[in-house]
Structure 1
Amino acid sequence: MNTYKINEIFETIQGEGQYTGTASIFVRLQGCPVGCSWCDTKQTWEQLESDKQSLSNIIIKTSDSPTWCDADETIIYNTFVEQGYRAKHVVITGGEPCMFDLNPLCNLLHSKGYTTQIETSGTFEIQAPDQTWVTVSPKINMKGGYPVLASCMLRANEIKHPIARQTHVEELEQLLIEAPVKQNTLIYLQPISQKTSATELAIETCKEKNWRLSVQVHKYIGIS
């Protein structure tokens, strides 16, 4: 069994990308060295032993904090059952979830009738079953210095790229030349922080390139 560092587990609605509107269980993993400047989960970056707590404390979290616990795939699944979660789609996010081997967790969940999705920066090799939906949000030229891997781009079912300025669009265009995706891979632009200028840029670019818009629905309706 693999051990995963869990920042939080909760049931909600997926607010981004292809699965927008889908009832989902989020498993947020602790740890990320990428250093994205606009990250909205910076509490997941470090894996300090001083922040380690029990699973029971992690489950009842109601606000962002760097606290985490160790749990294997069986404990995670049992937590879903014990908490009475009804959603059958599981989103594994972070942090950077691909710092972990996700095969054991995803395979167990698939055997129990769940679908799985990974949200990754594309900077670590993806270790997950073929049936897992992979969302790559490519973090290009970030502080941590990790390159976006061509293998991650090729594995992606969807690319979800946060943008605020034209340079962010150009970075994605260049990345797609250097690290092509499959023909059926969906490409989403997501305005950073719901800014009006970023949203207008995303809409115009999506019309120009026949890409798609992702607007972080959960933030507009005020849920986690």
Structure 2
Amino acid sequence: MSFIEQTASNQLAVNELFETIQGEGVFTGVAAIFLRLQGCPVGCPWCDTQHTWDKKEADKIAATDLIMKTADTPQWSDLSGEDILALIKTQGYTAKHVVITGGEPCMYDLRELATVLESAGYRLQIETSGTFEILTSADTWVTVSPKLDMPGGFQVRCDAMTRANEIKHPVAMEKHIEALDELLARCPVQPGTTICLQPISQRPRATELAIRTCRLRNWRLSVQLHKYLSIE
């Protein structure tokens, strides 16, 4: 599988840019602009954005075509931070919370993008697997959804766990809770970091496990609100 190597270039391979509400984690219910980047080598079996895994030159399209996309496709546009800001303004988006997701957004150096958007009054949130170095501004809210023992063979980085403002862990079985405990023992988070459990695919058994564990540990439940509402 081909994927993007992290680079100092200010160009980002953008798969989608759209406005909705954040459906997961601490910012659930907040109006948000989603910036979805192309490329991910982690290989999560339950991933619902597998069309973002590979970055192929044949799938490159113009920014004007990107905005017109109405379905999940591997097509992407090469955009700078200034290009992205211009698209946000052109589209008339009013949300001030920008969620950078993927794919795996931390395959890119996001510091220039953060400077551009924060200077324009936006708050940034990154959703990452924690398997790449996190290069962004100090004010960016970092959500690490640790991907353990995935087919890609990447390890969750301790520096990513330390940087996290929020841990959002997908669970279906007790072994997923145990794996998170082992990770937290190996890579402790900072005091005050929010830990959310997110049932995989809204399965009743997974949801019951997540609720029970959150009650016992005073953690937080993340229910993927956008899926219940059938919105993007």
Fold shared per TM-score above 0.5: yes
The DSSP-based 3-state class of the residue aligned with 2:46 is coil
The one of 61, 65, 76 equivalent to 2:73 is 65
Deviation readout 1:139-161 (Å, 9 max, x if unpaired): 00100000000000000000000
Residue equivalent to 2:6: none
Q: Does 1:124 align with 2:132?
A: yes
Gaps of 5+ in 2: 1-8
Residue equivalent to 1:29: 37
Residue equivalent to 2:48: 40
Residue equivalent to 1:202: 210
Q: Does 1:168 align with 2:176?
A: yes
Alpha-carbon separation, structure 2, partners of 1:196 and 1:22: 25
Alpha-carbon separation, structure 2, partners of 1:170 and 1:108: 40
Alpha-carbon separation, structure 1, partners of 2:17 and 2:145: 21
The DSSP-based 3-state class of the residue aligned with 2:117 is helix
Alpha-carbon separation, structure 2, partners of 1:74 and 1:36: 31
Deviation readout 1:111-138 (Å, 9 max, x if unpaired): 0011000000000000001100000000
Residue equivalent to 1:53: 61
Q: Map of 1:123-142 to 2, 5 A cutoff?
A: 123-142=131-150
**1:60 offset after TM fit, Å?**
1.1
Residue equivalent to 1:98: 106
**1:27 offset after TM fit, Å?**
0.3
Q: Does 1:146 align with 2:154?
A: yes
The AA in structure 1 aligned to 2:130 is: G
The alignment's C-alpha RMSD in Å is 0.6
The AA in structure 2 aligned to 1:213 is: L
Alpha-carbon separation, structure 1, partners of 2:181 and 2:69: 39
Percent identity between matched residues is: 58
Residue equivalent to 2:117: 109
Alpha-carbon separation, structure 1, partners of 2:33 and 2:132: 23
Alpha-carbon separation, structure 2, partners of 1:173 and 1:210: 14
Q: Does 1:8 align with 2:16?
A: yes
Q: Does 1:187 align with 2:195?
A: yes
**1:88 offset after TM fit, Å?**
0.5
The runs of at least 4 consecutive aligned structure 1 residues that moved more than 6 Å come to none
The DSSP-based 3-state class of the residue aligned with 2:149 is coil
The AA in structure 1 aligned to 2:165 is: N
**1:192 offset after TM fit, Å?**
0.4
Alpha-carbon separation, structure 2, partners of 1:205 and 1:97: 29
The AA in structure 2 aligned to 1:111 is: S
TM-score normalised according to structure 1 size: 0.99
**1:193 offset after TM fit, Å?**
0.5
Q: Map of 1:70-85 to 2, 5 A cutoff?
A: 70-85=78-93
